[in-house]
């Protein structure tokens, strides 16, 4: 039985989109492909204890060194030599430079190269010295959007046809909250009866500084979930922007479902998973008309120029005041999000593994 090793070393602290991607695949693969054997490479300290429903049920192997640590590459080579998988799926941009086995790599975006000035020189060098050369020798390359395929091909000097697009999905936990559930969530976190949600971090391309130009004009506060406390203060945002401390994974659907809208002004996204999760939870979305976001949201969100604060102000006020528009966006958003499932993502990844392993395709699988 062929052995597939999944990389979960980046699963630590607050879950970002790539960590969620890796976990969603890891917890689905064994039941979808009983003809394959799966295990996962996890951080030296193991996976976080609070993963809840996202915790994978497969053998977990502790890595010798942490994700992107100074000793990562020799330690990863030693881990792979010890485990001897038939395929290693590098689910993030950390690729094994000193291992020549069959490698499937998911590269989510090219922002370390496209936005090199916003990262340390070491991070850009890592992408050029490790990711680029090893990607060229991978057995299969996957990315999550057509935008990312073009970006990666351009910056890594690859043919775009070397990259297969398999979009992310939305878990079925993301459903509209009942009035009682939304009220209980807001009371538990001391949130106002009505708020607008925003997510991201202090990196410039997330463009959260845009909020400082119109948050004060909104009749409700913006509740910012940004991975750590005091981001609003760090960015000099108005007092109408409230920092929300870390949320348990189980509360993420309620965070979106209890909000009047989600603001996503990011200038660079390889995919934009929060937009889909919010739409699935019945939350109207306002997204930047840039990079992969239009591809993900389609016509189910209000798309706005990322630098036009006046447009964001007017659109947010419209959504807050117009019940009909809000209902329309909610319905369109739920229909849009339903097209993206993690089961579909996992099945298409399994077809990639089987192609690399030269195994017959499973009935109903998709390798497009």
Every domain of the chain and the residues it spans: 3-169+341-357, 179-337
**Fold agreement (3-169+341-357, 179-337):** yes
pLDDT in tens, 153-208: 999 999 999 999 999 999 999 999 999 999 999 999 999 999 999 998 888 999 99
pLDDT value for 66: 93
Among residues of the chain, what percentage have pLDDT more than 70?
95
Residue whose entry in the numeric block shows the structure tokens 């798309």? 303
Task: Report the C-alpha gap between 351 and 368 in whole angstroms.
Answer: 9
Q: Which residues contact 125 (CB under 8 A, 6 or more apart)?
A: none
Q: 244-251: which pairs have CB atoms within 8 A and are 24 or more residues apart?
A: 244/189, 244/191, 246/14, 247/189, 248/50, 248/52, 249/15, 249/50, 249/51, 249/52, 249/53, 249/54, 250/52, 250/53, 250/173, 251/185
b/e burial code for range 287-318 (CB count within 10 A of at least 16 → b): bbebbbbbbbbeebbbbbebebbebbbebbee
Q: Which residues contact 357 (CB under 8 A, 6 or more apart)?
A: 2, 86, 87, 102
What secondary structure letter does DSSP report for 42?
A: E
For 3-169+341-357, CATH gives: 3.40.50.2000
β-strand pairing of 285-288 with 262-264: parallel
Give the CATH fold of the 179-337 domain: Rossmann fold (3.40.50)
pLDDT band at residue 49 using 50, 70 and 90 as cut-offs: confident
pLDDT band at residue 226 using 50, 70 and 90 as cut-offs: confident
pLDDT value for 231: 66
Q: Which residues contact 344 (CB under 8 A, 6 or more apart)?
A: 169, 366
pLDDT band at residue 348 using 50, 70 and 90 as cut-offs: very high
Task: Report the C-alpha gap between 40 and 50 in whole angstroms.
Answer: 18
Residue 236 has pLDDT above 70, yes or no: no
Strand partners, 111: none
On whether the CB atoms of residues 4 and 29 are closer than 8 A, the answer is yes
CA distances in angstroms from 248 to 12, 79, 134, listed in the order given: 13, 31, 36
Task: Report the C-alpha gap between 127 and 151 in whole angstroms.
Answer: 13
pLDDT in tens, 164-173: 999 999 999 9
Structure tokens at 272: 């934009």
H-assigned helices in 143-280: 146-156, 179-188, 231-234, 252-257, 273-280
pTM: 0.93
The chain-wide mean pLDDT, for the chain, equals: 93
Q: In what order do the strands lie in the sheet with 241-243?
A: 241-243, 222-225, 196-199, 262-264, 285-288, 302-304
More confident residue, 272 or 233: 272
pLDDT value for 228: 61
pLDDT band at residue 327 using 50, 70 and 90 as cut-offs: very high
The answer to which of 7-11, 318-322, 359-363 has the lowest mean pLDDT is: 359-363
Question: With 0-12 CB in 10 A as exposed, 13-18 as middle and 19+ as buried, what is 193?
Answer: exposed
């Amino acid at each position: 039985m062929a052995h597939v090793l999944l990389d979960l070393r980046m699963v630590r602290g607050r879950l970002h989109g790539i960590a969620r991607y890796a976990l969603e695949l890891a917890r689905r693969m064994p039941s979808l492909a009983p003809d394959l054997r799966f295990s996962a490479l996890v951080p030296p300290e193991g996976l976080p204890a609070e993963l809840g429903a996202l915790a994978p049920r497969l053998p977990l192997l502790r890595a010798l060194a942490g994700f992107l640590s100074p000793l990562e590459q020799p330690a990863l080579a030693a881990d792979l030599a010890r485990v001897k998988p038939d395929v290693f799926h590098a689910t993030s941009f950390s690729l094994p430079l000193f291992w020549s086995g069959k490698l499937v790599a998911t590269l989510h975006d090219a922002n370390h190269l496209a936005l090199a000035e916003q990262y340390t020189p070491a991070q850009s060098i890592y992408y050029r010295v490790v990711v680029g050369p090893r990607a060229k020798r991978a057995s299969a390359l996957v990315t999550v959007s057509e935008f990312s395929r073009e970006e990666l091909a351009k910056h890594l000097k690859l043919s775009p046809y070397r990259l297969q697009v398999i979009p992310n999905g939305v878990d079925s936990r993301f459903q509209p909250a009942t009035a009682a559930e939304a009220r209980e969530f807001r009371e538990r976190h001391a949130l106002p009866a009505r708020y607008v949600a925003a997510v991201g971090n202090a990196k410039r391309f997330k463009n959260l500084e845009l909020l400082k130009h119109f948050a004060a004009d909104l009749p409700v506060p913006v509740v910012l979930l940004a991975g750590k406390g005091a981001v609003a203060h760090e960015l000099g945002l108005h007092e109408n922007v409230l920092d929300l401390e870390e949320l348990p994974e189980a509360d993420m659907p309620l965070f979106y479902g209890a909000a009047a809208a989600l603001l996503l002004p990011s200038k660079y996204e390889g995919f934009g998973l929060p937009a889909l999760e919010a739409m699935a939870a019945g939350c109207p979305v306002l997204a930047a008309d840039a990079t992969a976001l239009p591809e993900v949201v389609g016509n189910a969100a209000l798309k706005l120029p990322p630098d036009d604060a006046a447009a964001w102000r007017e659109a947010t006020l419209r959504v807050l005041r117009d019940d009909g528009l809000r209902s329309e966006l909610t319905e369109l958003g739920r229909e849009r999000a339903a097209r993206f499932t993690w089961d579909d993502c996992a099945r298409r990844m399994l077809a990639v593994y089987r192609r690399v392993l030269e195994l017959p395709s499973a009935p109903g699988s998709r390798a497009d």
